[in-house]
Amino acid sequence: LAVGQVQDIGLIFLSQIAREVFDAAIAAGSTPHEALATVLVACAGATALTGVGVFVVGKLRLSCYVELLPLPVIGGYLGYIGYFCLAAGASLGTGLAIDGIQTWAQFFVLDAMLWGKLALSIAFALVLFFISKKIKHPAALPAVLLATPVIFYLGLLIAGIPLASARASNWIPHPEQHPTAGWQCFELYNGFHGIAWHVLPAQIVHVFLLFLVVAFGSVLDIAAIQVEQPKPLDSDAEMRMVGISNLVSGLGGGYTGSYIFSMTIFSQRQKVSSKMSGAIVCAGELLLFLLPIDILQFMPGFFIGGIMVLFGIEIMLDWLVYCRSKVSLREYFLVWFTLIVIMALGNLINGCAVAIGASACVFLFNYSQTPAFEIRQAPTSMLARPWAEMVALQAQRERKVCVHFHGYLFFGASLQISQRGLRLMQQLQATEVIMDFEQVVALDSTAAKAISTLVRSLQVQGMNIVFAAVGPQEKQMHRLLLQNGALPLEHEESTDNALGRIEVAADVGEALVRCEERLLRGSSTLATCSALKPLSSADDALGEIALMLGRFLAPLPHDQAREQEHEEEASPVDVEEQLLGIAKRMEERSFAPGEVIMAEGGACDEVGLLLEGSATKSRWGERRVAKATQMYSPGCMMGVLDFQVSTSHAEPISAGPEGCRMAVLSRAALEVLQREEPTQALLVHRAMLRNIALMTQVAASGDAIRNA
């Protein structure tokens, strides 16, 4: 349930329209009566057009942008509404005109009557506040509101104070000298005779500004009411209702309005949820419009003033005190800043605009303090490698670092990129650095320059840098990085061997493969782990399978010394013969490019050893697009984990773009080995166990992430 009324926010522009239209009509030769009729038509027409505009905003569902308004700005705006109600209450209760802060100086006088009126208004507001908070009976507050004027007049009667004296002291408003009914205002339109229609088009700019102000004010009112609502509001429907109301008001000679936040929240807090309440308010105001009498002339000033002070106290407490638990400390300061700016400027729209700008500045400051990147040490590619290469890469895993940039990289993040990033890199002592931009929304030139500074500093220290996911050359991110010196120019080659290389890769996977290849080329561990005695008695096919399988059984570097010590004590085992025996049990198969090797959901009855070509394990991503999760190169084992623990494959494995050739050991063949050649079966299980253990270690070693 919401209450809507004419609001003063639109009257500012309507007054400007009225003044200019009246002056233009008089200058055009209209009589004052005709000029007044022209003013009334202009104001009513402006209201109707504003209603149409607000309705269109709701129809086009543009009010969703209300959520872009910062909550501290809304809170400061509501705090100002609370102050406005408080000032209006003090004005009604004392008879003084209170506009700006300086007008409060009127109370700093020794006037017992003035202070008595103000104290009575505040006391009545506190009584209402106490009843609304402490007494839950729904009839308590209405009973007090009805009884207070009666008690006041009984007090005057008992004290023998005549009404004339009370009015003279401004305890009661003075009645109108010539009261008229509201409907008589239509006589001022002069029957639409003598309207200076030609002066109206000049007000189109003011009408547009009026529309903007009313639309913005309605958005604020809806946002404010939404905060107090347990259920979400349909902002677009509410805007359409405001638009229709203004259209009807304009066609009826009325002025712009919207929801009255104070009255709406007052009704909600009194648990008023019936539409009958709105019907009663509408009928009551229609009756007051038709009657030639102003009912407010019978209400004591402190009574109306106290009600307005109550509204002001409740709203200000909610949004200037109690809201502290709902917002951060910086946002709480923004709430007060919004209130102070609105009051200092004396203009709601300008004040809110300044507060939104301040909120944007605070956001930029906060965003600049959040980490712009994460550093992951010892990342690994999806490329499954032969045993010797995996061992060699594990020995050098700490030399790889991946810097994952994310979000919007702007000037506020430049310091943490160029300084903190360099400090962390120096601490990690890496030689291969990948800069991943996959999660970067955009970056500006300042951030690009900071990244260039970081890259050049790392390059001087001999680190190789690979950029990943920077996009095509025509895109802004690639262009800014290139023009600011972060990326190498085309065909640029460093002549200084002490400097690290700078490369560009399509994604992180490709970048990791490049780094790993570079590390393998300079690895001393690779040669040690790859060393096997040549197979003297075997054809080429069996020898190839045995050789690759034997690499999974080769002693680790730290095991070689121990094996040499116990070489004389150990029983001789002909490894070559055992490997050839296993190779004879394996079936060689060839697969065309893209052909499925192990189907998703298929039985896990085989384990494969890739001999030639490549293969890819993938899963279905969004929109049923296959996404690679593992790539295999010659010498790798495939399907080992599923073979050991699953009954069906969770992800399919397919041949690579050049096809592949592999050796397959079936579960049935392994069972035969376990019965007939247990030593060979033991070697197979040992090879699979080593493969699983190393893959697990590789996956776990890349989990270290450091925030900037």
pLDDT tens figures, 584-606: 999 999 999 999 999 988 999 99
pLDDT for the residue numbered 625? 63
Q: Is 437 a member of any domain? A: yes
Per the domain annotation, does 53 fall within a domain? yes
Beta-carbon contacts of 281 under 8 Å, excluding residues fewer than 6 positions away, are 3
Give the pLDDT score at 268. 67
Greatest pairwise CA separation for the chain in angstroms = 132
pLDDT digits (tens, 9 = 90+) for 10-68: 776 788 799 899 999 999 999 999 999 999 999 999 999 999 999 999 998 887 775 57
Q: Quote the distance between the C-alpha of residue 401 and its chain's center.
A: 29
Question: Would 378 be classed as within a structural domain?
Answer: no
Query: What is the span of the domain harbouring residue 423?
Result: 397-522
Handedness of CA 427, 429, 435, 438 (dihedral sign): negative
Q: Does 172 fall in a domain?
A: yes
Question: Do 444 and 543 lie in a common domain?
Answer: no
Residue 477: predicted pLDDT: 92
pLDDT exceeds 50 at position 569: no
DSSP conformation class of 647: S
Please provide residue 349's backbone torsions phi and psi, each rounded to the nearest 5 degrees.
-65, -45
Last residue of a domain, one of 311, 346, 362: 362
Question: Model confidence over 386-421: pLDDT tens digits?
Answer: 777 887 888 888 889 999 999 889 888 888 888 888
d(CA 75, CA 62): 22
Same domain, 132 and 266: yes
CATH classification of the domain holding 542: 2.60.120.10
Helices 71-94 + 204-227 axis angle, to 10: 100
3-state secondary structure at position 5: strand
Supply the pLDDT for residue 530: 47
Total structural domains within the chain: 3
State whether 171 and 43 are in the same domain.
yes
Half-sphere exposure of 544 (CA within 13 A, CB side): 13
Structure-token pair, residue 476: 């802004």
The beta strands (E) that lie in 471-605 are given as 502-505, 587-591, 596-598
Question: Would you state the pLDDT for residue 392?
Answer: 83
Q: Which amino acid is at 482?
A: L
131-142 pLDDT, tens digit each: 888 887 878 888
Structure confidence at residue 80 (pLDDT): 87
pLDDT at res. 168: 84
Distance CA 457, CA 421 (A): 10
Q: Are residues 304 and 332 in the same domain?
A: yes
Of residues 570 and 377, more confidence is placed in 377
Contact 90, 123 (CB under 8 A): no
504 with 537, same domain: the answer is no
In a domain, 104, yes or no: yes
Do 513 and 547 lie in one domain? The reply is no
Concatenated DSSP letters of 310-362: HHHHHHHHHHHTGGGGTS-HHHHHHHHHHHHHHHHHT-HHHHHHHHHHHHHHH
Integer angstrom CA distances of residue 131 from 139, 145, 266, 299: 10, 11, 13, 21
Measured in degrees and rounded to the nearest 5, phi and psi for residue 175 equal: -75, 160
The answer to whether residue 579 scores a pLDDT higher than 50 is yes
Q: How far apart are CA 244 and CA 73, in angstroms?
A: 27
Q: Is residue 385 in some structural domain?
A: no
d(CA 163, CA 335): 45
Query: Which tens digit of pLDDT belongs to each residue from 262-294?
Result: 667 667 666 666 777 778 888 888 888 888 777
| Mean pLDDT score of the chain | 83
Whether 532 shows a pLDDT value over 60: the answer reads: no
The structure tokens listed for 53 are: 């505009």
Nearest C-alpha neighbor of 676 from the set 684, 591, 647, 356: 684
From 282, 386, 390, 288, select the one nearest 701 (Cα to Cα). Answer: 390
**Total Cβ atoms within 10 A of residue 528:** 17
CATH label of the domain that carries residue 462: 3.30.750.24
Inter-CA distances, 383 with 26, 551, 612, 693, Å: 86, 18, 15, 16
pLDDT in tens, 468-504: 999 888 889 999 999 998 998 765 555 556 688 899 9
Is 340 domain-assigned?
yes
pLDDT at 526: 55
What three-state secondary structure class fits 485? coil
With bands split at pLDDT 50, 70 and 90, how would you rate the model's confidence at 690? confident
Average pLDDT over residues 119-136: 88
Pairing of the two strands 432-443 and 400-409: parallel
What pLDDT sits at residue 692?
86
301 lies in the same domain as 219: yes
Q: How many CA atoms does the CB half-sphere of 305 hold within 13 Å?
A: 26
Tracing tokens 């951030």 back to the chain, one arrives at 447
With 60 as the cut, is the pLDDT of residue 565 above it?
A: no
408 and 431, same domain (yes or no): yes
For residues 266 and 527, give the distance between their C-alpha atoms in angstroms, rounded to a whole number: 82
Instruction: Determine the Cα–Cα distance for residues 172 and 263; give it in Å rounded to an integer.
Output: 24
Output the CA–CA distances (angstroms, integers) from residue 15 to 46, 195, 649, 666, in the order listed: 11, 18, 77, 91
Q: What is the mean pLDDT of residues 90-94?
A: 88
Looking at the structure, do residues 135 and 258 belong to the same domain, yes or no? Answer: yes
Give the end of a domain, one of 362, 378, 407.
Answer: 362
Number of residues in the chain: 708
d(CA 326, CA 535): 75
C-alpha 175/C-alpha 173 separation (Å) is 6
Q: Could you tell me whether strands 626-632 and 606-620 are parallel, antiparallel, or unpaired per DSSP bridges?
A: antiparallel
Backbone torsions φ then ψ of 654, nearest 5 degrees: -125, 155
CA atoms within 13 A on the CB side of 514: 22
User: pLDDT over 70 for what percent of the chain?
Assistant: 87
The pLDDT > 90 percentage for the chain reads 32
Let me know if residue 527 belongs to a domain: no
Phi–psi pair at 443, nearest 5 degrees: -145, 155
How confident is the model at residue 704, as a pLDDT?
Answer: 41
Q: Which two tokens stand for residue 10?
A: 């639109």
Closest CA to 262 of 3, 38, 491, 600: 3
CB of 26 closer than 8 Å to CB of 194: no
Amino acid at site 156: L
Q: Quick check: 699 pLDDT over 70?
A: no
pLDDT at 705: 41
Whether 553 and 494 map to the same domain: the answer is no
Residue 196 predicted with pLDDT over 80:
yes
pLDDT of residue 556: 53
C-alpha to C-alpha distance for 407 and 263, rounded to whole angstroms: 43
Tell me, yes or no, whether 54 and 157 share the same domain.
yes
Last residue of a domain, one of 315, 345, 362: 362
Q: What is the dihedral of CA 85, 310, 216, 3, to 10 degrees?
A: -120
Q: What is the pLDDT averaged over residues 157-178?
A: 84
Predicted pLDDT of residue 53: 93
In this structure, are 89 and 193 located in the same domain? Answer: yes
